[in-house]
Amino acid sequence: MPIAREDVAHLARLARLALADDELDHLAAQLDQIITAVARVQEVAADGIPPTSHSVPMQNVFRDDVTEPCLPAEAVLAAAPAAEQQRFRVPRILAEE
């Protein structure tokens, strides 16, 4: 199933990328090519094969509920593009989740 330009636009919105029009066209073609290639995974006979999400066969790795030092306040905001009242200043938020 080829990747349409609208699909790329939808993905770009999900991924928060304001792609330019020519980029949309270019990426649609490239993604189509790559997806066709990686779709090879569907050829594998994998019935009943469990998925691997972690290559280390470990589980139950936990931390004790003990406090550790926080970052100093000035370090927290040092890299902020904008700050006010000891908080991160961000542009207006459009929609509530």
Q: Residues binding another protein: what is the number (CB under 8 A)?
A: 78
Q: Distance (Å, rounded) from C-alpha 80 to C-alpha 91? A: 13
How near is the Cβ of 64 to another protein at its closest, in Å? 6
Among 2, 25, 29, 82, binds another protein (CB under 8 A): 82
Q: Distance (Å, rounded) from C-alpha 56 to C-alpha 61? A: 12
Residue whose pair of structure tokens reads 């699909």 in the numeric block: 7
How near is the Cβ of 43 to another protein at its closest, in Å? 8
Query: Do residues 83 and 89 lie in contact, with contact meaning Cβ atoms separated by under 8 Å?
Result: yes
Length of the chain: 97
Q: Which 8-47 positions form the footprint of another protein (CB under 8 A)?
A: 8-20, 23-24, 27, 30-31, 33-35, 37-44, 46
Window 59-78: contact mask with another protein (x via CB under 8 A): xxxxxxxxxxxxx-x-xxxx
- What 8-state DSSP symbol labels residue 96? -
Query: Do residues 50 and 62 lie in contact, with contact meaning Cβ atoms separated by under 8 Å?
Result: no
Check residue 79 for interaction with another protein (CB under 8 A): yes
How near is the Cβ of 82 to another protein at its closest, in Å? 7
